[in-house]
Structure 1
């Protein structure tokens, strides 16, 4: 049986796992999780405590959390060290940056989205402002970090985390011209073939982005 990934094409964390699978050229079946596929919803609900996707099914194994899925794919479904290196210190560095993108980019981006979901006509602009302030601070940190991280033409755990995080974060709080390295890197990430495929597959769902999707990317 081939691997199965359960998720949604518009989900940032589903992208994160998809990018790894595409980059590693792993055979898998994508199972969309939506109201039209209750059997897939049931698998996701059974996997983790909050029933969140993505979920990877490999035979009888069910794994949730995108970073865990990437670790598993790297360990069991590719002989390459591309996604996560075998060197312990290099892997630790990658995992640190993975947490930066999940906790400090994706999280405040989602805070903005959640506020528009909570009150579409009257979102709390103070909460949104706080989230955007956090994004501005991490943009500045990433701008400095990028002095030491050249754009790669292959995908590692860092690219898997950064691409969806920066794609959507820039929608809720555009990366200013004062962060030229970060702007260039986001553009580079979106051109990587595994990322570009996710962008295209998600395009039909853009009208569902709560704050409103920009007419770009």
Structure 2
């Protein structure tokens, strides 16, 4: 019986982050999809985590329920280790990995979400100034990341880490909101490597039937 169950939605960026890590480990896990129309699934999520955010990981073998993607990834790496070293053993590399995890979540994904949320509103009610500020914040983040990461294979160096799990969804969606492949060649090439990675391909394939719901065209 599979011990781990991830409560998720196929379009959620933070669910992607967790799924990539689980796939990197190569361990068995089950999925419980949360949809707005599925009241039973929503009630399950609320019972597990009253803040009602996903993903949420349930480890039935250890009676553990965990929210927050970065914490989920570190937990799985510690308690159900597979082939994936999410956090490098080297202390300096570990700090760089954790820093980049925060930068991708806070400085890339947060502005993306601001633009997305505005586009969920009727066009006449959208805050153009907020959208403009979010796009400007993304361009600033692109410049910083292009300079900081140039020459590396993966975000924190030669090894695929937690930082890359964070980078994949944030950059994938950011490129749809404020395209960067033509202006930031390292980031563009890096996103291509991420999207081609074996742990990422099934995540993108599972999301494809829902892609039309993404509101920024």
TM-score scaled by structure 2?
0.90
For residues 24-39 of structure 1, the aligned pairs below 5 Å read 24-39=25-40
Partner of 1:123: 126
Is it true that 1:195 corresponds to 2:200 in the alignment?
Answer: yes
Q: Bigger CA drift: 129-138 or 118-127?
A: 118-127
> For the residues of structure 2 that align with 1:209 and 1:23, how far apart are their CA atoms?
26
1:110-134 CA distances to partner (integer Å, 9 max, x unpaired)? 0000111133454222111100000
Partner of 1:142: 145
Partner of 1:78: 81
Q: Secondary structure at the match of 1:193?
A: coil
The answer on whether the counterparts of 1:94 and 1:157 sit within 8 Å (CA) in structure 2 is: yes
Deviation at 1:21, TM superposition (A): 0.2
Partner of 2:5: 4
Q: Secondary structure at the match of 1:168?
A: helix
Q: Bigger CA drift: 3-12 or 123-132?
A: 123-132
Q: Secondary structure at the match of 2:150?
A: helix
Go from structure 1 to structure 2 and tell me whether the alpha carbon gap of 1:120 and 1:43 turns closer, same or farther (over 3 Å shift).
Answer: farther
1:50-72 CA distances to partner (integer Å, 9 max, x unpaired)? 21000000012110011010010
For residues 23-102 of structure 1, the aligned pairs below 5 Å read 23-59=24-60, 60-78=63-81, 80=83, 82-102=85-105
Where do 5+ consecutive residues of structure 2 fail to align?
none
> For the residues of structure 1 that align with 2:203 and 2:170, how far apart are their CA atoms?
13
Deviation at 1:94, TM superposition (A): 0.6
Deviation at 1:204, TM superposition (A): 0.4
Q: Secondary structure at the match of 2:108?
A: helix
> For the residues of structure 1 that align with 2:158 and 2:45, how far apart are their CA atoms?
33
The total of aligned residue pairs comes to 212
Where do 5+ consecutive residues of structure 1 fail to align?
213-217
> For the residues of structure 1 that align with 2:57 and 2:123, how far apart are their CA atoms?
33
